[in-house]
Amino acid sequence: MDMTEPAGTRTLHPPPGYRFSGTVRTLAMGAHDPCARFAGGAFWWATRTPAGPATLALRPAAGDLHASGYGPGADWVLDRADAVAGLRDDTTGFPALAGRHPVVARLAHEFDGLRLPATGQIFPRLLRAVLEQKVTGKEAFRAYAATVRRFGSPAPGPLTSLWAPPPPDVVAATPYWVFHPFGVEQRRADTLRRAAAVADRLERCADPADATRRLTSIAGIGPWTAAEVVRIAFGDADAVSVGDYHIPNTVAWALAGEPRGDDARMLTLLEAFRGHRGRVCGLLAAAGMHPPRYGPRMPIRSFARF
């Protein structure tokens, strides 16, 4: 099999007003994510499927989306292409809920074409979420990119800079100190290894509630990490990242004009949108809303030097 040629294709038909780039951008950790990126007019997403590594390329053209699958898992990613593109996201009932607050109503109208992707996979997003715990974005990306390139493999397809994420069994069997040069301290390394050891069971979770229960039973994984995972794996519109450094302040500022808020205040303000609370947080992020900043930003550290 020529891994640089598509093993199959599929044409998707998004609804009018669909925002392709804004929807799939949430699957990438910035512009240089080793597993997902925009290149050559398409969005490329690499993963590992039950049949093996695969790459999905989504290319917009004349209102449609042309999906191409590469590698042994091409059929798997093509079957899920519409979900990955957010086209299975059900926004029924959200316009009525959005009307309960003028800011949310305005953003729901302005960003009406945004949808929530659902990859159907837990461990690839869990890998990133664990490495994002309690550190700055730059620290997290550095650790994530180094981990993928150390334990992953070049992804199928013509994009030579794309990598398939690491197999969970390889991560589980790696001593914690191997992660140290990537800037990952023992606590996060051990959490990642514990999660990788039960990745097969995690991938069999039936829904966001089941996944959240199993994820939070793993030492080192709390509500924030679980919400970050189920929002992408299942397209869970209600997943709220409790424990986030920024989101409670953003919600308090946008919905109540309060420059600071804690998790309890955030959940109180979001209660009117239950069922779509995570979607509301996503709209605030898409609009670039943030409260006034006070004091210095969190410093960037390097655990590799400790």
For the segment 284-291, the average pLDDT, to the nearest whole number, is: 94
Confidence tier at 302 by pLDDT (50, 70, 90): low
Does 48 score more than 70 pLDDT? yes
Question: Structurally, what CATH architecture does the domain formed by 8-90 represent?
Answer: 2-Layer Sandwich (3.30)
pLDDT digits (tens, 9 = 90+) for 225-245: 999 999 999 999 999 999 999
Residue 306 pLDDT more than 70?
no
For residue 141, the tally of other CB atoms under 10 A from its CB is: 19
Average pLDDT on 80-94 reads 97
What residues contact residue 213 under an 8 Å CB cut-off, 6+ apart?
Answer: none
CATH number of this structure's domain 123-204, picked from the four choices 3.40.190.10, 1.20.58.100, 1.10.340.30, 2.60.40.10? 1.10.340.30
For the chain, where do the domains classified as CATH 3.30.310.20 start and end? 8-90
230-243 in b/e form (b: 16+ CB < 10 A) is bbbbbbbbbbbbbe
Q: Within the chain, which residue ranges are assigned CATH 1.10.340.30? A: 123-204
Q: What is the largest CA-CA distance in the chain?
A: 58
Cα–Cα distance measured from residue 69 to residue 77, given in angstroms and rounded to the nearest whole number: 6
Whole-prediction pTM? 0.93
pLDDT tens digits for range 112-158:
999 999 999 999 999 999 999 999 999 999 999 999 999 999 999 99
Question: What does DSSP assign to residue 292?
Answer: P
pLDDT for 293 equals: 81
pLDDT of residue 5: 87
pLDDT surpasses 80 at 164: yes
Q: Mean pLDDT in the chain? A: 94
Q: How far is it, in rounded angstroms, from Cα 137 to Cα 129?
A: 11
Q: What is the mean pLDDT of residues 257-273?
A: 97
Q: How far apart are CA 236 and CA 277, in angstroms?
A: 10
With a CB cutoff of 8 Å and minimum separation 6, the contacts of 246 are 290
Residue 267 has pLDDT above 60, yes or no: yes
Which of the 8 DSSP states describes residue 210? H
